[in-house]
Amino acid sequence: MNSYLSMSDEVRQALADGKPVVALESTIISHGMPYPQNVETAMRVEQTIRDHGAVPATIAIIGGKLKAGCTAEEIEYLGKKGQAVIKASRRDLPVLVARGEDGATTVTTTMMIAAMAGIRVFATGGIGGVHRGAETTMDISADLEELAQTQVMVICAGAKSILDLGLTLEYLETKGVPVIGYGTDELPAFYTRHSGFGVDYRIDSPQELAKAFKVKQDLGLQGGMLVTNPIPEQYSMPAKVINNAIDEAIAEAQRLGIKGKKTTPFLLAKIKDITGGDSLAANIELVLNNARLAAQTAVALTKM
Ligand code: PSU
Ligand code: MN
């Protein structure tokens, strides 16, 4: 165990006892949603995981410590500070930790810290991927490289079409990351259930998800598994509304010359503004839906 990792007593005990634990990211709190809905959602997600028999471990960097299991106060702190917290990806870890700073963990760093702690299942909203126009900007999220090398199952609602979904799937294929559709053959597109792109495999139960991941571990295959869980029908958004909002947000980002790590948070906030908050409501529901599936899968994994 490295000296930079700090697990909450509850998480450490659960892992020691072989109980199910689900990791949660903190960039979705600081950069993915506005205050106070971000904090309310984070707490509801934790409760949902408990209601389904697992222990939640919200992951973040606090005062240079890699935290697996944040307190309610730490979640409130990250949520209130919002975009003023450093969004921490793999390249940010060494300097942030050395300086004793805070950082909100993306999918990448949440996977890294979960793996260090021994947590195998992670629930979030959406992952980063290959951005539209990446053939000239080279903007490809570090999340894809992390999925290629770190053994954690990531349960998300697919990817937003702020990304080039086709190129994102190609990248994952090259890197050997299985892309699973939960109860679907089609990659969900976050706010909507449909993208027009197929997944590698359809799986219909938490038990089968757990089994596939167990086999991957037993075979010693590096890298994660991406489970894409469609937003429940009643909360999904009309494709036209959301796609227009995404196009408008991307055009605005280009006008303003937004680049690098600022791109994704900028687009998320812009889409929320354009849709008058409808996208936020959908976002909250899909995260809760993913938390439920992650808890059930973590429970199934501990029984194998
Ligand atoms: N996509 C979302 N919601 C999010 C993110 C992505 O729909 O909150 C966040 C996640 O933390 C993800 C990160 O890991 O953005 C990706 O950022 P980038 O594209 O800069 O790699
Ligand atoms: Mn990027």
Which residue has the CA at smallest separation from atom 17 of ligand 1? 128
What pLDDT does 2 receive? 83
Q: Pairing between strand 103-105 and 55-62?
A: antiparallel
160 is catalytic: yes
Which of these, 97, 110, 106, 150, lies nearest to 129 by C-alpha position?
Answer: 106
**Domain ranges for the chain:** 2-302
Would you state the pLDDT for residue 150? 98
Which tokens is 112 given?
A: 């890294």
The closest-lying atom of ligand 1 relative to the alpha carbon of residue 261 is 20
150 contacts 120 by C-beta, under 8 angstroms: no
CA distance 51 to 152: 22
pLDDT in tens, the chain (304 residues): 589 999 999 999 999 999 999 999 999 999 999 999 999 999 999 999 999 999 999 999 999 999 999 999 999 999 999 999 999 999 999 999 999 999 999 999 999 999 999 999 999 999 999 999 999 999 999 999 999 999 999 999 999 889 999 999 999 999 999 999 999 999 999 999 999 999 999 999 999 999 999 999 999 999 999 999 999 999 999 999 999 999 999 999 999 999 999 999 999 889 989 998 888 999 999 999 999 999 999 999 999 9
Mutation to probe ligand 1, out of 33, 89, 107 (largest number of atoms < 8 A from CB) = 107
Task: Give, in words, the CATH class of 2-302.
Answer: alpha beta
What is the reported pLDDT for 276?
84
CA 168/CA 189 separation, integer angstroms: 12
Measured CA to CA, the distance from residue 34 to residue 88 in angstroms comes to 18
pTM exceeds 0.75 for this model:
yes
Residues with CB under 6 A from ligand 1: 25, 27-28, 32, 106-107, 125-128, 141-143, 160, 190, 261, 264, 268
Nearest atom within ligand 1 for CA of residue 131: 19
The tokens describing 255, both together, are 């006008």
